[in-house]
Amino acid sequence: VYLYIKDDTVEIRDAAHLWGLEVMDTEDTLKAEVGERLARICEIGPAGENLVKIAGIVNDYKDIAGRAGLGAVMGSKRLKAIVVRGSKNVPLADAAKVKEIGRWVADTLQENHWTFHNFGTGMGLDGYTKFGGMAVRNYEGGPFEGAGEISAEALVEKGYRIKMEACWACSVRCKKVVKLEQPYQVDPKYGGPEFESIAAMGSDCGIGDLAAVSKANERCNALGMDTISFGATVAWAMDLRRRGIVPEAEVDGVPLEFGSVRALLAAAEAIAHRRGLGDVLAEGSARAAEKLGGKELLTTVKGLEIAMHDPRQRTEFGKQVRISYATSPSGGDHMNSNLPSRSARNTVGMCFFLKYDDPKLIDIVNAVTGWGMTTAELTEIGERSLTLARLFNIREGFGEDDDRLPTQVMKPHVSGVLSKVRLDPDDLAEQVRLYYAARGWSERGVPLPGTLESPSTRSSYGFVPLREEDLELIRRWLLEPHVKRWWDDGVKAPYPDAEIDDYKAAIQGEDPTYRYLAWIDGRRAGMLQHYRIADSPEYAAALALGEDAIGVDLFIGEADLVGHGHGPAMLRQFLRD
């Protein structure tokens, strides 16, 4: 099926006629079918349909949410595409301010973004490889002799790049568009390779042929695959063959050998369509290693192939990359940043390549929303996002042992300036612990209670003595199914009249139990009571507690406030206060 959204109308439509189509055919067919030239479409290609774990979600032919297998998630739901057409205006709190910021971006292009505007990513690879910055032959390292031949500058010099394009309304225009007729046909609708794609399908596979890398980039976009994980998985498989672990490794009859353009292009088709060894590699290198061996050669963190910036490089950026790869919640992802400021950018959907400082970013958010947010509040949002992702990972079974780099990238390079540089596991573990401490997590990476109850994550709770005028509200809450289920113990009858009588007695001073109306964010939300266990003989006998023991009971009456963690937080605050 595909999902069609037009303004307030949502439809689920048949997509049987689209199943099996590549990205361009899918998008063109859907635009014609819905009669909306300006519709925006997210779709999967054959890789997503075939549940390839390195499949991505593509939009506008060439822009892909590639990392971590999101295309396979859509494929598992048999969802081919999401088509959206909106005709309503987007309300802006301060339209004049938004225009002013847009003009500022354009006016400072020469100062801040000129290099990106001219070349995009992938510049200066000759220099980058000399100090060990880019992945080479499954991260064995050393300078890559063909780096200059696959750089962004070479795309221009060879005449492959025909123009630069932009995300909507962006004046930086940092995205390459490549067109080739020979030796391969490369359709410009599929864009062109950026640094990660150049390195993953170039130097990491030992390939210095820019035309072949451009063709592989086109095929990955058409098939709907992450170029980083694809290139890294192919490079790993090439290493298996080279080292004799899988000496017969081949795809569609082509041996998987470093430097083989035929192998690279054949692998794209074999993996996307799950043919032969491609069916195993379609699971990604970490899962493939369970069947083929070669785990010691993997370049994965949390099962995800790391990006193409070598963490062994002796630069400040190298230090950042080491921690980013190790602690990123989704695995070895260089864009899923572990710093609050960059996490905040992810949260608001802001490009990392735009050189906005935090005050400028705040101006943008407030001009659009009118929220009046401060820089500190935006940083808190970034912190909260990182902690929430950490809690999700802990629930799914990930822990401190997963915040490590693979052995393959801890070893010295085989040659070059880093041939005697070995990353120390203990040093990396200490850096990870320091990162935990900065996030407010324990030494084992578990968020501490104080972090979970920071000002940005804690609601405002209050407790006031119960009054008779509150009893009708209490009665209504007691009859709510989620309260009655626990509060009606079948002892005091009739329910809830007996409870209301007890509460009235406490209000009048005839019952030693203290009862409070509990508030959440200024809203009456529930009831809390506390009492000496000794004043309830049946409890005292059953629990065998001392005379000074205190009991505290709480229910949240408003159903929409249940399940958000308010109960434990309210109890902690009440006991603390």
Asked whether residue 76 is domain-assigned, the answer is yes
The reply to whether 344 and 238 lie within a common domain is no
Q: What is the pLDDT of residues 249-283, one digit of tens each?
A: 999 999 999 999 999 999 999 999 999 999 999 99
Asked whether residue 100 is domain-assigned, the answer is no
Top mean-pLDDT range of 72-86, 484-498, 509-523: 72-86
Q: What is the pLDDT of residues 369-395, one digit of tens each?
A: 998 888 878 888 888 889 999 999 999
CA distances from 307 to 119, 135, 278, 302, 387 (A): 20, 8, 21, 13, 23
The reply to whether 121 and 18 lie within a common domain is no
**pLDDT, average across residues 211-225:** 99
Residue ending a domain, choose from 285, 305, 325: 305
The reply to whether 295 and 334 lie within a common domain is no
The reply to whether 293 and 202 lie within a common domain is yes
The reply to whether 341 and 368 lie within a common domain is yes
The CATH number of whichever domain residue 28 belongs to comes to 3.60.9.10
- pLDDT band, very low/low/confident/very high, at 152 (cuts 50, 70, 90): very high
Q: Show the tokens assigned to 336.
A: 């899923």
- pLDDT band, very low/low/confident/very high, at 442 (cuts 50, 70, 90): very high
Length of the chain: 577
CA distances from 332 to 49, 129, 324, 349, 576 (A): 24, 20, 7, 20, 41
The reply to whether 180 and 296 lie within a common domain is yes
Quote the pLDDT of residue 346.
84
Count the domains in the chain: 4
Where are the alpha helices (H) located in 309-453, listed in sequence order? 316-327, 340-348, 358-369, 375-395, 425-439, 449-452
The CATH number of whichever domain residue 120 belongs to comes to 1.10.569.10
Mean pLDDT of the chain: 92
The CATH number of whichever domain residue 431 belongs to comes to 1.10.599.10
* Domain enclosing residue 234, as ranges: 116-305
Residues β-bridged to residue 40 = 84
The reply to whether 267 and 335 lie within a common domain is no
Asked whether residue 17 is domain-assigned, the answer is yes
Q: Show the tokens assigned to 271.
A: 């993996």
The reply to whether 397 and 437 lie within a common domain is yes
The reply to whether 280 and 404 lie within a common domain is no
Quote the pLDDT of residue 548.
76
Question: How many Å from the N-terminal Cα to the C-terminal Cα in the chain?
Answer: 55
The reply to whether 409 and 322 lie within a common domain is yes
Q: 64 by DSSP, 3-state: which?
A: strand
